[in-house]
Structure formats: C-alpha cells, structure tokens
Amino acid sequence: MAIKHYLQFADLTLDEYDYLIERAKIIKRKFKSYEPYHPLTDRTLVMVFEKNSTRTRLSFEAGMHQLGGAAIYLNTRDSQLGRGEPVEDAAQVMSRMCDIIMIRTFGQEIIDRFAAHSRVPVINGLTNEHHPCQVFADVFTYIEHRGTIAGKTVAWVGDANNMLYSWLQAAEVFGFHLNVSTPTGYDINPALVSSDNQRYTVFKNPADACDGSDLVTTDVWTSMGYEEENAARLKAFDGWIVDAAKMQRANKDALFMHCLPAHRGEEVAAEVIDGPQSVVWNEAENRLHVQKALLEYLVLGKI
C-alpha cells in the first residue's frame, strides 16, 4: 500500500471516514469491555511535540499501547530538532526506526516537508493551520449523540484558527454547513480555504451565527504560538463568549463542544461548558478511540 499521511482533514475521503467511524465504534466497545485488541504488536509510534499537550499526547500514547504497540515521546527541548537539525533529515532517520509518526508543530509547511521525506505515515497532531484529529473526534462525537451530521448546521464562534480550518474542510467532506463568526481583523484567511468551498457563511454578529444551529463550538482566543497577542485579542474578542444567551439562539437539542483546554469566562461561560448541552468530556475521550482507528488504518490498511 502507498504511504498515506494525515496532514489535513481533507486527506481522507468520506468513504474512508465512514470506515474509520465504524472501526472507532468497534475499538471503543472493546476498550470499554476490557477486551484486549493488539493489531499493532511490535509496531512503534514516534510522537514529536514542538508545543505543549495533554490530550494529544495522552490519547496517542495510551492508544498505541492499547493496540499492542509502543509510543516514544520526543520534544524540541531535548531532541536534536531543537538544535536546528533539518526536518528533512529528522524525517529520514525517524522513519527508518518506527512504523508511524505523529507531529505537533508550528507552520503546516514543516509537517509537509517532514512527510515528504518520511518512509512511514505522518499524522498532524496540530499545526498553526490545522487540527484534523480533533475535528475528526468532534464529528464522531456529534454522530454518536445525534446521528448523521450531513445537512446539519455547526456554529463556529471565535478565532479563525487551526480548529476552524479543519472544521471548514470537514463541512465539505461530510456535507454540513458552518456558520462562522470571528471578530473584525481575525477573519478567515482565504488562502487556507478551498476556493470552491460553499459550505460556510460568515456572520458579523456571533449570536446570529448560532441561530438554528445543531452544534455550537469555539476554542481559545489565543492559540499556542500567538501568546504575545493575548492582550489585543482579549479586547478584540469582547462579545464573542459562548454564553447561555447565544446557546438560546441555537436549536433546542444543540450540543456544545470545545477542544480544550478552555478558559471559562473568556471564550465560554461556565454555565455552558459545565451545562447540559456540553459534551466536552466525551469529545476529549473520543480522541482516543478515533485515533486508534486511524493508527490501525494508516499502519495496516483496511482490515
């Protein structure tokens, strides 16, 4: 099988996602019933982190162990990547010693260059521009709670960040609509959206974006790597909090999601994230199950 990377959400087709969703359901069931499942015995995942992480590290590392394999954690602080070794060289070396690689880094071009020199599949564990594993877990979580997502409306209230660009790709793949509201000056970068994407509408007013939506979702106002903009962002995003008033504008059975970590009182009110419409803990847990399906698929193909 040709090497398949997962660098952006659109790297997999709807057929592949349908397959992976079925695998993730089976793998989740096995996990919940303590049934051993070791399709990746003797296989190794290398995880490279150039930014902080709790969920991504834990879900990949635990997931690989649960599949019978091993996971090795590298970061920039104590690997040669932090001392300027070219990513092309790192990719050549790492991919001769393992079966699959996950990277969390800054620019998407870094992971693109890495993948171009890798002998094994590379997974995007978050870049400045994309966070496909998280949005895959979110789509899976929506389907688990409400059934098909095709034809539904998802409201994105917040920054035009990595999560939003992955949601924009997911809308095209799965056939749902995205209502997007970002503050002036923090608009969608058209270079990061396919020019024929008809699956989104931009709203000036964040409450209007929530009207009639089936899912309301947001994320931090300041992503990793943009910390020096924090004070300016706090001002610009005033009014973009997802609170009970905005959830009122959504459909009655609308869900709330946040990829976490969250800042209560900034992008989301405690009454929403800790309220009855929030599914954030299931969403976080589902990172484990969908990524195990993804690891199995990228290493072994369809089984």
By annotation, the residues acting in catalysis are 104, 131, 134, 219, 259, 287
Residue of the chain from 12, 259, 280, 293 that contacts ligand NVA (CB under 6 A): 259
Q: Does 219 bind ligand NVA (CB under 6 A)?
A: yes
Q: Does 284 bind ligand NVA (CB under 6 A)?
A: no
Q: Does 268 bind ligand NVA (CB under 6 A)?
A: no
Minimum distance between the CB of residue 127 and ligand CP, rounded to whole angstroms? 12
Minimum distance between the CB of residue 13 and ligand CP, rounded to whole angstroms? 24
Contact partner, 54, from ligand NVA, ligand CP, none, Cβ < 5-8 Å per class? ligand CP
Residue of the chain from 124, 162, 182, 286 that contacts ligand NVA (CB under 6 A): 162
Residues in binding contact with ligand NVA, number by CB under 6 A: 9
Q: Does 153 bind ligand NVA (CB under 6 A)?
A: no
Q: Does 157 bind ligand NVA (CB under 6 A)?
A: no
User: For ligand NVA, which is the closer residue by CB, 126 or 299?
Assistant: 126
User: For ligand NVA, which is the closer residue by CB, 66 or 162?
Assistant: 162
Q: Does 223 bind ligand NVA (CB under 6 A)?
A: yes
User: For ligand NVA, which is the closer residue by CB, 95 or 182?
Assistant: 182
* Residue 14 to residues 7, 21, 170, 252, Cα–Cα distance (Å): 16, 10, 9, 28
Residue of the chain from 70, 143, 202, 224 that contacts ligand NVA (CB under 6 A): 224
Q: CA 129 to CA 162: how far, in whole Å?
A: 4
Minimum distance between the CB of residue 134 and ligand CP, rounded to whole angstroms? 5
